Every structure is written in C-alpha cells, then in structure tokens.
A and B are shown apart, each in its own frame.
Chain A
Amino acid sequence: MTMRTDAPLKTSGAARYGLDVTPPGTVYGYVVTSTIAHGEITAMDVAAVRAAPGVLAVYTPFDPLPLRTPMSPLLGETWVPLQDTEVTYYGQPVGFVVAETFEQARDAALLVEVTYDRRPARTSLHAGLADALDAPPSLHGEPPTLQVLADGVESIEDALAASAVRVDATYETATQNHAAMEPHSAVAVWEDGRLTLYSGTQGSDLQAAQLAQALDVEPARVRALNPFVGGAFGGKGHAGVSAFLGAAAARDLGRPVKAALTREQVFTATATRPATVQRLRIGADADGRLTALAHDSWSSTTATPSFVEPTSHGTSREWYTTPNLAITQKMVPLHVPPTTFMRAPGEAPGSFALESAMDELAVALGMDPVELRLRNSSIAPPGRDLQWSSKHLDECFTLGAQRFGWAQRHRRRVDRDWLVGYGTATAMFPALRFPCAVRITLRPDDTAEVATSGADPGTGLRTVLSLFGAEALAIPPERVEAALGDSTLPPGGMSGGSTATASVGSAIAVGAPAVIDALVAVATGPGGLFEGREVAYADGRVFAEGDSATFGEVLRAAGRDEVTAIGTSAPGEEMTKHSFSSFGAQFCEVRVHRWTREVRMSRMLGVFDAGRIVHEQAARSQIMGGMIWGVSAALHEGLEIEESGRPANGDFASYLIPVNADIPTVDVEFVRYPDTLHNPVGARGLGEISVVGVAAAIANAVYDATGIRVRRIPIVLEDLLE
C-alpha cells in the first residue's frame, strides 16, 4: 500500500502549519473577549493598553478595523468581529491588541476596561423549549415540520395510538466543541496590496474568498495557504476571527501579524455543536415492524438564529421504513457561543436519540435489537421514491454480529467488579459531493501533478489525490505529486460533509482524459514525436504503431514544459435517480463498575458500507477516529454553559476527550461495494458516518449492563447511581 504522502513531513516536525510561519518583522495580536453574555458595550478604556510596552495598536468596536460580512453560497454569512457594540455571548471577541511580542499583547489585553450595559441573558435550552421557533428548511429544502401519513390515517398521534407496542422518550445531547488540536490561528502578510494568509482552514479557496470580501479587495489579491491543517471537524469552515483581525491589522500596520486563539478562547470565539433535546415516539406491530415514528427536535442556536443541529431530518427522516412519519425541528435562540456544523451534524446527536429509542423498542418487544433494525431497513427514505443506490446495511449487521459475538449477549455477565453489557446501533450518513475542480499536469520528467485548492485536515486527501491521479493516468503513485492547500489552485471547495474523496475523484475522472487528449495532440501535432500518426495512451506512454514513448519523452521532444487540463465536477443528474448514503453497524462492549459506577469501554466494532475504499490505512484511521469521537460524546465531552453564559469547562483540563488509555481495541471492517451510481470512482464519504450511532450503542450497552437507561449524553457517574 502507498504510504501517506504527508507522513514524513509530519513525523520530522517539518510540516508547517499556519502558526509555524514567522515572516521577518512579525508582530503579535491577541483577541480580547467579552465577560458578559448579553448587553451592549458602552465604553472601552484602552489608554493603559496603548501605554503598555510594545503595544502597536488596539482595535475595538469604537475604533474598529473595517470588515464587511462575507457571504458564500456554501457557507452563507460569516460573522466578522468588532463591527458593533452588541454582545450576544460570553467570550465574544470585542477587541484586538497588537504588540511586538505575544506576551506584550496578552499582558496589555488584560488592561482593557470594558463597560457594559448588561441585559438578561437566555442561556438555558430547557427554559427556552416552550417558546422555541421553527427551524429553517432542511438541507433537502424540506420544511422543518413534515409528515408522511398512510392513506386513511388522520394524524401521527392516531398512528401511534393504534400501534401494538410504543416507546415515548426524550433524549438530550450536550453542546460540544470541535477541539481540533490546532487552535484557530493566522499569519497575515501584505505585500504590494496583496495578502498572503497562512491559516488552517477546511478550504483554502473559501478562506480566500471570505477574506477578500471582508477586506473589500479583489479576490485575486488574496492568497490563502493551508498545506497542513491541525484538525478541523467542521470548525474551520468559516474563516475565523484570527484571520479577519490578523489580516485587517496587518494591512493597517504594514507589518505581518500573527494571531492565535488560546485554547480557552477556542471554546467561545469559534463555534460549537448545538445542544439538543429530542422526543422520540415510535410505534410498532407485535412483529417489530414500525407503524409510526415521530421525532421532535429542539436545537440551541445563537441569539440571531444561525446553525441548527438537524437531528430529526438527519436521521428519522430517512433511516427506517415506516408508513407514518412525523418530523419537527425547532430552535431555541440563546446567548451562547456561535453554533456550526461539527462532524456528522444532525446525525451524531440525532442517532443517539433514534438509536436509543430503537433499543428501548427492542426491549419492549423482547426482540434482538439487530433483528429489529434489519426488519425495518429502508429501501428509500419514507415518502420519497428515490431508492438507495447501493445499500448493504444488512450485511454490515450480520457480518458484525458474527464477528462481535453478538449471540453471547444474553448471558448475565459480571467480570469481577465489572458489569458487562453489549450495545448496537445503526449508522448512516448521506453521500454527498461538492463542486470541485482539479488541475492535472503532465511534466517532461515523467511525473504528474494533481492540484486543487481544498484542504487535507488530516483525512488523507493529499494521498488520495496522488492515488486517483495515478489510477487515472495509469502510472505509479510515486510519480504523482499532489498540490493542495493553496487558494490559487483550481477551486476544490471544502473538506467537509465527507465529500472530498468523491468530489476530487469525480473531477480527476474528467480531467485525466482531457490531459491525455492534450498530450496526444502534442504527440501527433506539428513537430510532435508521432506527428500525424494514430496513437493511443496507456500506462504513462503514448503508443504509435511499432513505437512508443513516455509522456515525458513526448513533451521533451516537443519542447513543452507541460500539458495541463482542469477537470470539474458537481453533483448532477444522479441526484434525480437515487438516494445516496453510507451505512454502518456499530457494536460495543462496556464495563460499568459495580461500586463506583465508572464506565469503561472494553471492545468496539464497526462494519461499514461506504462504497469503494480508496486508501485502506487512511480510511481505517478516519473510521476509528470517528468511533472514538462517539465514545467521547457518550462518556466524556460536553461544554457546560453556566447561567451567566460562561463556559464552566472551557479548557482541556475539564472539557474531557478520551486519552489513549481510555480506548480499547477498535475493530473496523468494510463491505466493499463501489457505488458508481454516485460518482465514477465509487467512493462514498466515511469521515462522518463513523461517529454516528456510537453514543447510542454505548448507552444501550450501559442499559444492558446495569438496567439503567441513560437518555442524556455525556453519561456521567451520577447517572448510574442505583
């Protein structure tokens, strides 16, 4: 197998992330954040700040850097700081101090005196449930409230009432932060009216476009570089405050500016996954066939509503066959940090509710939870006539059950001081593509370059580009260089939504024949090596009858530096023919301490149907990472926001994510059915599906071990007191 092409640089310490660049003359910016959750800033006294050693500038809403609100088709509006005096959450950026050194900037920032006109802050999702608002339409453009009822059925309540077996339960999931290891940061350098921005982001061209709009400069005058990104998970889609303030201050001061959020600031000054409350009502007949499914969802969102966690539309809308379906999605505007998409937005917390409820239904029916899921597997989303293009969820479950030893679950299991339980859950995540352009270049030294702006936030996209390029050009991957993470390359869009592999693969499938055509034209054209002859391309060579040459030889003979072509692709006609999703079956074994009630993972297995697996190592890493995210969601992480709006645990000592010692053996298996109905390379996304269902599988296993049903994550010790 080809090794990850980024590994040597990352292991030698030579990979340069945004903040690792220090141009000559660099000065340092420090963001000042609000200490109230709601109100207006009436004054900011910065005299002492300006007088502090090394301070070059202080920017506030009263003395702001000019920034305009950028708008993009993919991301919508992006908030820019310091443009008004309104405070709508604790930890909101309200100032920016630039000094010769970081410590000077931070020290000086302590001296800012802010006067607020405080207003009452709404910070409780529970308190806001009663007057929640309807959420905007779903990703599919469907209204937030949606019903599919069988003929003759008057209401979902009627359908539920007529069901032989019913479950009615309410679940809660916590606010979460992406907590990528690399804090949001930027180094901004202006030269001759052109900005170069070094900053980790999920899409360099999107970053450049947002900065150009915000700074009101020609898009061609902004170059965003992100060759290495220290994790993103949805949290680096929108350009961040470090980038906006760093770039604007660098322009104002005529000096390169380096700006990074501290870890504490990351928890408020970037964005979070919303908290959710979800009520599930499921009805089934005595054989376990669903007769009615109602999923009511509430999501926290910002005071001026922005991102809403689409828990019901992301799960119950599509997962199971049911004659009667009712979905609602509401939002509760709060004075809390911004909300945005985070790994498996909708599906991750939504699956905790749906798959816990399915487990409760299995218990009520006295049925094997695996059997219940197999029995209700959907052929198409209810009420939609587009069938799944390629669905092998049944195989995931049967293979997984066998491999995991699921049949052993009925034994009463106590291992010394530990109660042992098994749990399972379904995982699904839509297969999507984004518009994408990839440039393919053949070079005289018989190497090729595959280039797109995009980003590899750790997924392995850089390696995948080389592999797809090699495959399409029929040459060894070692001869294909990937260029990525530079907004001046053809627009590759965003590494997000588990789309990148399918998107670049589709574009390369278009671009490779085009560059080969261009090569053939060079070979057969005037002065070409095979001028006027019939030729064919194979394995990196151009073949004429009785003769052949490598593409490098063809280019050298013609005196050409390169031939190049750009392949573009976008989701299209296939969307009118099928529904697309990846599928998976999650299994886990947990141990709950009989006396102290500590919960520990002891085994995990995920079996996934994600189309073609392009790079085994990177794919397994993505899947394992997602499954461990599920452990984290179930047992560790949750941002607690106090009544005042202040996060109670906004640092790595108290916002817990699992350490190596918490993670057991993680077994991953794929069923491998390339989905060429979705895209020519047959790969569907797998970065997000892996987290889906895990938290429910764990809660279900905890129930199996203890008989205690915990309907809120993260599960805490006191939930399990008897």
Chain B
Amino acid sequence: MRIELTVNGVAREADDVWEGESLLYALRERLGLPGSKNACEQGECGSCTVYLDGAPVCACLVAAGQAQGREVTTVEGLAGDGLDPVQQAFVEKGAVQCGFCTPGFLMSTKDLLDRDPAPSDPEIREALAGNLCRCTGYEKILDAVRTAAANR
C-alpha cells in the first residue's frame, strides 16, 4: 500500500509498504532516515523513539499505515540550525558511548523537558526508563539532561 505522511516537516510518501510493516522500517528502509535504530522490535529499548503527532512513541510498535496523514519527527529533524540544546548537552557532557541508543534518548529527553523544564533526578530516571543503554552511560545521560534543562 501507499502511505503519505509528514516527516520532519516535509511531505513524504512511500509505495509498496507492506501492511504489517512498522513505521520504523518505513523510515529506515523506505524514507532514507536511518537515525532511528532497530534494537528489539518490542518497545523495550526505545532506540526507535520518534514523535508521532508530537508524542514520543516507539516507531517499531506503530504500523506504518497508522502513520498515514500524521506528522513524524525523527532524530534527524530534532535540530534546526546547528544542534538542539538537548543534543548540545549530550555532546558537552560526553553522554554518548556506542551511540546506538542516543537518538532515542534525545527524543525522550526533549519530550521530558518540553513537559517539565526542571525535572528532578528521579523524574528524569523515570522519564528515560523506556530507553535502554547497554554501555550504561546512565550517569552521563543524567548529567546531560540536567545541563540541557539549565541551558534551555
């Protein structure tokens, strides 16, 4: 089937989408946006986190057809000119290791700070619980979120 959606502010379309296909697959393999990562396909790791109509979701758990006519934002669309303050904070605090989980963490962090500009540490830890990091840079990530909150 064909799907039409807005991705990072741009109207996009994809043909021959399989009906059971995930939004994640469509983004990565059909729309040339491999920033969102595939690591578990069951919503446990958050590596594929994107915004669907402004709310962070696991793209692996959204059927591509469900995104028809909707707005999607991926890590590639997070920044305007230069890096977003959240991205900047992750760079500054060294909150990247292998980097595979990083796009998902950035999306969750930005959403958290949009909802709550000054979260407490427990709130940060809870808000990022859906993003697994196996290098387990959780402390640096926490630093980065605090920094991003302060810099916004």
- The residues of A with any CB-CB pair to B shorter than 8 Å are 3-4, 6-17, 19-20, 22, 101-104, 178-183, 228-233, 260, 262-263, 457-460, 617-618, 620-622, 624-625, 628-629, 632, 651-653, 657-661, 663, 665-666
Contacts and interface: CB of A to CB of B under 8 A. Distances in A.
**For chain A, what secondary structure do more than half of its interface residues adopt (helix, strand, loop), or is it mixed?**
loop
- Most chain B beta-carbon neighbours within 10 Å: one of A10, A230, A617: A10
Given A10-B102, A11-B106, A651-B40, A179 B92 contact: no
Given A12-B76, A459-B97, A657-B132, 10 more contacts: A3-B91, A14-B35, A101-B18, A103-B21, A230-B39, A231-B97, A231-B100, A618-B94, A659-B132, A661-B128
Interface of B: 16, 18, 20-21, 25, 28-29, 32-42, 44-45, 47, 74-76, 78-79, 83, 87, 90-94, 96-103, 106, 122, 124-126, 128-142
Nearest to A180: B134
B87 to A, nearest CB: 4
Nearest to B46: A659
A698 to B, nearest CB: 15
B45 A181 contact: yes
A666 B44 CA distance: 24
Contacts of A620: 139-140
A617 B140 contact: yes
A472 B44 CA distance: 45
B134 A661 contact: no
A653 B45 CA distance: 9
Given A621-B140, A652-B40, A12 B87 contact: yes
Contacts of B92: 3
A182 B83 contact: no
Contacts of B36: 13
A12 B83 contact: yes
Given A624-B139, A651-B40, A659 B129 contact: yes
Contacts of B142: 660
Contacts of B38: 19, 183, 260
Contacts of A19: 34, 38
Contacts of A230: 37, 39, 98-100
Nearest to B90: A11
B48 to A, nearest CB: 11
Given A103-B25, A183-B39, A263-B39, A17 B100 contact: yes
A12 B35 CA distance: 8
Nearest to B99: A10
Contacts of B94: 3-4, 7, 617-618, 621
Given A13-B76, A263-B39, A617-B94, A181 B101 contact: yes
Contacts of A15: 99
Given A230-B37, A618-B94, A663-B125, A458 B42 contact: no
